A and B are shown apart, each in its own frame.
Chain A
Amino acid sequence: MEYHLTSPFDEEELKKLRIGDSVYINGIIYVARDAAHKRMSEALDAGEALPFDIKGQTIYYMGPSPARPGRPIGSAGPTTAGRMDKYTPRLLDLGLKAMIGKGRRTDAVKEAIVRNGCVYFAAIGGAGALLSKAIKSSETVAYADLGAEALLKLRVEDFPVIVVADTAGGDAYRRE
Chain B
Amino acid sequence: MCIEANHSLGADMRAALDKAAETEDSPVGKHVLAQLQENLKIAEEDRIPICQDTGMAVVFADIGQDVHIEGGFIEDAINEGVRQGYTEGYLRKSVVGDPIERVNTGDNTPAIVHYRMVPGDELKLTFCPKGFGSENMSRVFMLKPADGVQGIKDAVIGAVADAGPNACPPMVVGVGIGGTFEKCALMAKRALTRSLDEPSPLPHIRALEEELLAEINKSGLGPAGLGGKTTALGLNIESCATHIAGLPVAVNICCHVNRHAVRIL
Q: Contact between B52 and A130 (Cβ–Cβ < 8 Å)?
A: no
Of the listed stretches A41-49, A88-96, A120-128, chain B binds A120-128
Q: Name which of B40-48, B150-158, B187-195 contacts chain A.
A: B40-48
Please judge, given known A-B contacts A125-B255, A126-B39, A129-B39, whether A76 and B52 are in contact too, CB under 8 Å.
yes
Of the candidates A77, A80, A122, the one whose C-beta lies within 8 Å of that of B52 is: A77
Question: Considering the chains assembled together, what is the distance between the CA atoms of A20 and B102 in angstroms?
Answer: 37
Contact with A along B128-142 (1 / 0, CB 8 A): 000101001000000
- CB distance B168 to A125 under 8 Å? yes
Query: Across the interface, which residues of B come within 8 angstroms of A104, CB to CB?
Result: 164-166
Selected contact of A74 from candidates B49, B164, B220, B257, CB within 8 Å: B49
Does A117 count as interface, using CB distance less than 8 angstroms? no
- For chain A residues 22-75, which have a beta carbon within 8 Å of chain B? 22, 35, 62-68, 74-75
Q: Give, as a whole number of angstroms, the nearest-CB distance from A13 to chain B.
A: 21
Q: What residues of A have a CB within 8 angstroms of the CB of B221 in the complex?
A: 175
Nearest Cβ in chain B — how far from A69, in angstroms?
A: 9
- Across the interface, name the chain B residue whose C-beta is closest to A149: B104
**B208 near A: Cβ within 8 Å?**
no
Q: Which of B77-85, B88-96, B240-248 contacts A (4 or more CB under 8 A)?
A: B88-96
**Chain B 200-243 per-residue mask, 1 if CB under 8 angstroms from chain A, else 0:** 00000000000000000001110011110000000000000000
A130 CA / B44 CA spacing, docked (Å) = 11
**Pairwise interchain contact B165-A122, C-beta atoms closer than 8 A:** yes
Known: A82-B166, A147-B104, A172-B226. A126 touches B50 (CB 8 A): yes
Q: Complex formed: what's the CA distance from A98 to B13 in Å?
A: 34
The listed residue with most A CB atoms (<10 A of its CB), out of B48, B50, B131, B219, is B48
A167 interface hit (Cβ, 8 Å):
no
With a 10 A CB-CB cut-off, give which of A79, A130, A164 has the most chain B CB atoms: A130
| Chain A residues within an 8 Å CB radius of B102 | 35
Cβ contact within 8 Å between A65 and B165: no
Q: Who on chain B is nearest to A125 by CB?
A: B168
Which residues of B lie under 8 Å from residue A148 when comparing CB positions?
A: 92-94, 104
A63 touches B226 (CB 8 A): no
B48 contacts A127, C-beta separation under 8 Å: no
Rounded to whole Å, the gap between the CB of B190 and the closest CB of chain A is 22
- Min C-beta distance of B233 to chain A, whole Å: 12
Q: B32 within 8 Å of A by Cβ?
A: yes
Chain B residues with CB under 8 Å of chain A are 28, 31-32, 35-36, 38-40, 42-43, 46-54, 90-94, 102, 104, 106, 131, 133, 136, 164-166, 168, 219-221, 224-227, 255-257
Closest 6 CB pairs of A and B: A125-B168, A129-B43, A103-B166, A75-B52, A130-B39, A75-B49
